[in-house]
Amino acid sequence: MSEKPAERLIYGFHAVLARLRHDPAGVLEIYLDLTRRDARARDLVHQARDSGVKLAQVEADRLGRLVGKAAKHQGVVARVKPVALTHSLDEVLESIEGPPLLVILDGVTDPHNLGAILRSADAFGAHAVIAPKDNAVGINATVEKVASGAADTVPYLMVTNLARTIEELKEHDIWVIAADMDGEQPLSGIDVRSGVAWVLGAEGAGIRRLVKQRCDQVARIPIGGTVESLNVSVSAALCLYETARQRGHASTRQ
């Protein structure tokens, strides 16, 4: 089976169940390994039935043909409508109540990292994750699986010009902070109780010089041990947690 332009495939219990709960109308059909009889499989069957979504029990090798034998599909694949990226930056900013919390990704192309960042963004109340249209990963099946439903709840905005977007955020009184190993202040030493956008780059290349120059401040995450840096998704989680901690609550998104 090949995906039609208006359809795509997602896999794994977290991703499929999350889509069923958040957007059942966007789930066209579910394929479940006919040998699965455990509680998770039964829960999925009930959820699909209650949502009016067609579910077919198929042999495991058919699932492998759908998404590739290397994919860890866990015995479930769903044919879904693509996540609708209808949000614009203006729409997101206009909808925010209280101090904004945003994440800007520069050069993050690994879908596992993006999925983990979206999951942390959802957990700590970020209003959106922003990335450039070039040199960035979009929402795909791997991102949805790792995000465990957060790809449906956190707006992911892909913009044409990251530097221009940073300037636009500043016009909305949002403090733009780069998280980088050469930062002047440690993470905990920066006041992030007002509107803030964290800028993070991929491991290795880091944040591009011109993007970093547009930031208001550069913060560092103090680390010990022998490693020189943290994975970008871990860094994002720490920045978001510190923001939530300073603001006095674990979730800042309204």
Binding residues for S-adenosyl-L-methionine: 201, 221, 230
Q: Is 29 left (phi over 0), alpha (psi -120 to 50) or beta?
A: beta
CB 17 within 8 A of CB 47: yes
Instruction: List binding-site positions.
Output: 201, 221, 230
Q: What is the 3-state secondary structure (H, E, C) of the chain?
A: CCCCCCCEEEECHHHHHHHHHHCHHHEEEEEEECCCCCHHHHHHHHHHHHHCCCEEEECHHHHHHHHCCCCCCCCEEEEECCCCCCCCHHHHHHHCCCCCEEEEEECCCCHHHHHHHHHHHHHCCCCEEEEECCCCCCCCHHHHHHHCCHHHCCCEEEECCHHHHHHHHHHCCCEEEEECCCCCEEHHHCCCCCCEEEEEEECCCECCHHHHHHCCEEEECCCCCCCCCCCHHHHHHHHHHHHHHHHCCCCCCC
**Residues in a beta bridge with 9:** 79
Report yes or no: 220 and 193 within 8 Å, Cβ to Cβ.
no
